Amino acid sequence: MPTAEVRRAMRAQDRRRFLPPEVAGDHRRDAPLPIGHGQTNSQPSTVADMMTLLEPFPGMRVLDVGSGSGWTSAILGELGGPGSAVYAVELVPELVERSRAALTQPWVRVHQARPGELGLPEYGPFDRILVSAMGEALPQELVDQLAEGGVMVAPWRDVMHRVRRTSGELEVTDHGGYRFVPLRHTRF
């Protein structure tokens, strides 16, 4: 169940601003919406679940992998506030530009993903990592960017997982079935 803080942050960052005009009228639908290039803006209930599992906090350093439209990045920026640093990374150049134009928080920055590299290791470690694309397995490259005490929420093999790093150990828990676009390291 989403927290009141997550619901407030999602309301504060209007989904319409992050959608192409042809689907913006559907912003209230609890469904993934196409944003072009074979990508989607995730279903609001899924985003709420992921944000709640992530356990965001003010002032966090967070990585948003597969940021797409920038909506989840804006929500993370809302939850972290001006003292946070949100690093969004997206592979599709057109989506990078569109999301940069939609974002209004100066502490949220969208980076162009580099083919063959997952995440932004040069900016880590991160307190929180959100992955909005389906992987095949636990993304070790991202685990390596997770700070001590950090939490990553990522789907792989059709299941949402939360990964918590504590004393160098990983605690991985399952949180139900979900569907996402595939996690890609290279341009199609």
Q: For the beta carbon of residue 88, count every other beta carbon within 10 angstroms.
A: 28
DSSP character for 15?
Answer: G
Compute how many other C-beta atoms are within 10 angstroms of the C-beta atom of residue 140: 8
Tokens of 136: 């095949």
* 45 counts as catalytic: no
Mean pLDDT of all residues in 61-75: 96
At 93, the pLDDT band (50, 70, 90 cuts) reads very high
**Model confidence at 130, in pLDDT bands (50, 70, 90)?**
very high
Question: What is the reported pLDDT for 188?
Answer: 36
Helix (H, G, I), strand (E, B) or coil at 48: helix
Candidates 42, 67, 99, 132; catalytic one? 42
Other Cβ atoms within 10 Å of 187 Cβ, number: 10
- What per-residue confidence (pLDDT) applies to 186? 47
d(CA 98, CA 118): 21
Q: What are the structure tokens assigned to 36, written together?
A: 């072009």
Determine the CATH number of domain 4-177: 3.40.50.150
pTM of the predicted protein model: 0.93
Is the pLDDT reported for residue 136 higher than 90?
no
How far is the C-alpha of 170 from the C-alpha of 23, rounded, in Å? 40
- The candidate with the shortest Cα–Cα distance to 65, out of 150, 176, 153, 140, is 153
AA letter at 72: T
Q: Which residue has the higher pLDDT, 83 or 158?
A: 83
Give the per-residue pLDDT at 133.
Answer: 79
Give tens-digit pLDDT for 3-24. 899 999 999 999 999 999 999 9
